[in-house]
Amino acid sequence: MVKTFLDTDNLPFCKGCSHQMIARSTEKALQILDIDPLDVVLVTDIGCHGIIDRKFHTHTVHGLHGRSVALAAGISAGLADPRKKVVVYIGDGGTSIGINHLLGAAHRNFDMTVIVHNNMLYGMTGGQQSDLTPGSFNIRASMSGFTEEYLDVLKLVEDAGAAYVSRIQAKGDFSEELAKAMRVPGFSLVEVLEVCPSYGLKQNKDVTVANISEKFDLPLTSRMNEKAKRAEIADRTNNPSLLDSMKPVSVEFGHNLKGPFTLLMGGSAGEGVQVAADIFATAAMSCGLNVTKKGSYPVTVGTGYSAVEIIVSPEEIVFTGIGKADWAVVSSEDGMSFLKKRIEGMSGGRVITDAAYTVPGSGAVVHAGDFRGQVPGREINLSMAIVMLGISGIFPAGAMVKAISDNKIGGKMDVAKLVAASDALRAQIGG
Amino acid sequence: MNSKPKKVLLDGSMLIIESLVRAGADVFIGYPITPANNLYSYGAKRFPAALAAPDEITTLQWMSGYAAAGKIPVSATSFPGYALMIESINMAYMMELPMVIVLAQRLGPATGTATMGAQGDVLLMNGTISGGSSLPTLCISNVDDCWSLPPEAIRWAVRMRTPVVLLTSKDDVMTLRSHDLSSLPPIEKIERDYFTGEGPYASYSPGENLVPPFLPVSDTKHQVRLTASTHDTRGILQNSTPEALGNTKRLQEKLDRNLGDYTFYDLDEEKGAGVLVVSYGITAQAAREAVSKLRAQGSKASLFVPKTLFPVPPEYFNIMEKYDRVVIAEENQTGQYRQVLFGSGPRPGVSGVNAIGRIITPGEIIQEVLENG
Ligand SMILES: Cc1ncc(C[n+]2csc(CCOP(=O)(O)OP(=O)(O)O)c2C)c(N)n1
Ligand code: SF4
Ligand SMILES: [Mg+2]
């Protein structure tokens, strides 16, 4: 028994509109494929061609102007079932506004068949020109900004990676051509050359469906791309929990804090400020403290300043902002200028830095030493944190040293040497 | 839950992604943008499927396609990406497709400052849907919410067949903090109900609670019609027939009728307090601290942290009505949620604490409570 896909009574188009030819040939093509109507999803764009969905007995999805190809790509990927056919109806207008979706779907070679209804104008809005309108096709409300060249959608999607493309004309029964495209696994596109009698023919009296191809140099063609690759969507249903890979920090040290302690760190990108702060935070946790850490750096992470706000507290930390900082650790000129205002606002506490930098005036006591001379640049922030702990005594510097050794960067450096250099610096500048 | 503490250093993004997946989200589709990048990279690592879209319009369209196929999609973005999504969110809303969009706010307008937190997109949530219907919006107010609210967003999306926004900001999704994993309550996978009747099936024929039972476009027994244009119960485009307009109105009515099931807030009332501090999102932490400091120094104050921002639950007004003064703290210039709750004109007894480009401090809230009282 022949399956019915389309209710052909009163198709919703003007008399003589090519869109009805496509609807009828689509039904026949699906009959040739001998597929069940409910194994087909017809996705229609906004435009005259799109209002046909109500007449189809397939599943139908009617979305936005120009986005149907992307919507269908999601459906195709979501179904991930080669027994299903996803067919898209889109106009030359939808192709213009949504060309990136056609390229994107072709590029990933999503399994779907796109039928471009090219009547060379925006039918639904009154016959304006689209990017697929040839320059010599007369448009009623023509605007400038167009050339003789039309957008060759076949070439574009082919370049992007489509598996199959063809250009045909909306004449007679072209179901075989549509069926051929629908059989292709992957992304296939058929551009159908059409006329819109209501807006296209009055100003273009000599144009017929049969002569568009020649008149506007739109060659009828079909091309298979045997090398087209399908985008695989990996199934990672058994991905482990993100939390499983988190190593809990056990409490091994004590601390001397009665309340929250706030610390600013500032340095240059590429010198491990953020990593040093993460290690500092882990060390604080190993002393039974709660921690919050906020990093800030320019969007270009490899250059300029890199700064951190840290709160450590024996109590739960509710508000994570820092008003006045208790201490600041500054390892470079970049860091100093970024933190200038914050340091000026300090009414007490300490600033640890290299002797080469000018510290803005504030209520803080400054401890400046020859860090740059004594430790490598990539370890300078770690060293300053060790010295800072040594002087402040908020929690043991040993917790920091252990956290460095436990971190993967610990394996790439001489930790004992860093500790010795830091202790020497502390002896010089501490007190 | 009495097991020994398991303290780790993590950000809110990790908790959000993990809890979304545990609650049953199937696919993460994203386009990178600060401050949502951690959500993106955790999403790529954890989700059963993860797709890199070439832009945010595509993101929302792919999500809608997945949702039509019966999956639960998630994305994470910030204003510039959200702006591109808006027409497509309207589409998904009209088609009644479930999905969750995590919106990590940053300082605008336009590209603004990518690495600066903000709460400047609240009115945008209220105005996303053309015609003024509400877009369900939940707002994270602390690290616990990063774990507990995402499953509620999924439940809301699935049960009400709607896109849901999970609103957050840079400070919630990027700040690292020590957190005890052993304190995290378990999360149940949200099971979905499909239409099981004999038919005929009409995609938009409302069932219980005004929500139409769902079928994916892979069903082999019933035809499914999804449409974003004004449509009747069968999903067939209509200009403005009473049936079609009734369907459009139902989109708001289904949310209103069932809002009680999705109303979340913290209310910490102090007996005899005349002032209510209202805050949400990243500023809620400052408000919590402000209220405990006020109490410690002997000033009575109550605290209200709404988490369901839209639709605005009617009981919020019952809560606020009891107070002579309401102080609303939010990190935006004009007091966006204050305008939603009380209108844009001045209102006796209602004041705001507002800032942009920096976090609001507990001190500022305390000052407003004490000085203008
Ligand atoms: C984003 C957006 N912009 C503009 C429109 C208005 N609009 C509706 S249909 C259409 C053009 C349709 O032309 P085409 O895709 O060629 O289909 P046709 O009507 O010719 O079949 C336009 C511009 C819209 N719906 N959405
Ligand atoms: S306006 Fe043109 S494209 Fe639209 S239905 Fe009429 S003839 Fe067809
Ligand atoms: Mg057209």
Name the B residues in 313-342 with CB < 8 Å from any A CB: none
- Give the mean model confidence (pLDDT) for residues B91-118: 96
* Closest CB to A77 among B66, B219, B224: B66
Give the pair of three-digit tokens for residue A347: 């009414």
3-class DSSP state for residue B164? strand
Q: What is the pLDDT of residue A431?
A: 65
Quickly tell me which residue has 């292709």 as its tokens.
A184
- Give the mean model confidence (pLDDT) for residues A400-411: 97
CB-based contact (8 Å) between B288 and chain A? yes
Atom 8 (ligand 2) nearest CA: A17
Atom 20 (ligand 1) nearest CA: A123
CA neighbours closer than 13 Å in the CB half-sphere of residue A269: 10
Give the pair of three-digit tokens for residue A123: 């039918």
Closest alpha carbon to B37 in B115, B107, B96, B139: B115
Distance from CA of A227 to the nearest CA of B (A): 23
Q: What is the pLDDT of residue A301?
A: 67
Neighbours of A319 (CB within 10 A): 24
Q: Quote ipTM for the complex.
A: 0.97
List CB contacts (< 8 A) between B292 and chain A. 318
Does the beta carbon of A194 sit less than 6 angstroms from any atom of ligand 1?
Answer: no
Task: Assess contact for A101 and A257: CB atoms under 8 A.
Answer: no
Give the pair of three-digit tokens for residue B218: 């892979």
Name residues with Cβ closer than 5 Å to ligand 3, which is an ion. Answer: A 91-93, 119, 123
Task: Assess contact for A399 and A284: CB atoms under 8 A.
Answer: yes
Q: For residues B83 and B80, what is the distance between their CA atoms, to the nearest angstrom? A: 5
Closest alpha carbon to B372 in B332, B329, B325: B325
* DSSP symbol at A300: S
Residues 6+ apart with CB under 8 A from A240: none
Distance from CA of A214 to the nearest CA of B (A): 35
* Closest CB to A291 among B22, B53, B178: B178
* Closest CB to A285 among B7, B95, B237: B7
The DSSP H or E segment spanning A261 is strand A261-268
Closest alpha carbon to B80 in B32, B122, B28, B126: B32
Give the pair of three-digit tokens for residue B209: 């609670």
Atom 11 (ligand 1) nearest CA: A122
Minimum Cα–Cα distance from B7: chain A residue = A248
Mean pLDDT of chain A, nearest integer: 95
Centre of ligand 2 to C-alpha A43, Å, is 19
Distance from CA of B144 to the nearest CA of A (A): 11
Q: What is the pLDDT of residue B1?
A: 43
- Domain spans in chain B, listed from the N-terminal domain onward: 7-183, 208-261, 266-371
Q: Which of A19, A193, A195 has most ligand 2 atoms within 8 Å of its beta carbon, as the pocket-test mutant? A: A19
| Buried/exposed B188-224: b ≥16 CB within 10 Å, e otherwise | eebeeeebeeeeebbbbebeeebbbbbbbbbbeebbb
List CB contacts (< 8 A) between A38 and chain B. 219-223
List CB contacts (< 8 A) between B18 and chain A. 241-243
What is the crossing angle of helices A99-108 and A153-160, to 10°? Answer: 40
Closest atom, ligand 2, to C-alpha of A194: 3
pLDDT digits (tens, 9 = 90+) for A209-225: 999 999 999 999 999 99
Residue A314 φ/ψ, nearest 5 degrees:
-70, -20
pLDDT digits (tens, 9 = 90+) for A69-117: 999 999 999 999 999 999 999 999 999 999 999 999 999 999 999 999 9
Task: Assess contact for A252 and A285: CB atoms under 8 A.
Answer: no
Does the beta carbon of A98 sit less than 6 angstroms from any atom of ligand 1?
Answer: no
Which domains occur in chain A, in start order? 19-224 (3.40.50.970), 244-429 (3.40.920.10)
Confidence band for A27, pLDDT divided at 50, 70 and 90: very high
Pick the CATH number of B7-183 from 3.40.50.261, 3.40.50.300, 3.30.1490.190, 3.40.50.970: 3.40.50.970
**Is there a shared CATH topology between the B7-183 domain and the B266-371 domain?**
yes
The CATH class, in words, for B266-371 is: alpha beta
B49 with A233: Cβ contact below 8 A: yes
- Give the mean model confidence (pLDDT) for residues A144-159: 88
pLDDT digits (tens, 9 = 90+) for A346-393: 999 999 999 999 999 999 999 999 999 999 999 999 999 999 999 999
Does the beta carbon of A428 sit less than 6 angstroms from any atom of ligand 1?
Answer: no
Atom 2 (ligand 1) nearest CA: A65
Sign of the CA dihedral B314, B315, B316, B319? positive
* Closest CB to B181 among A81, A248, A320: A248
Q: Which of A125, A130, A133 has most ligand 1 atoms within 8 Å of its beta carbon, as the pocket-test mutant? A: A125
pLDDT digits (tens, 9 = 90+) for A162-179: 999 999 999 999 999 999
Q: What percent of chain A has pLDDT over 90?
A: 91
Q: Which ligand is nearest to the CA of A49?
A: 1
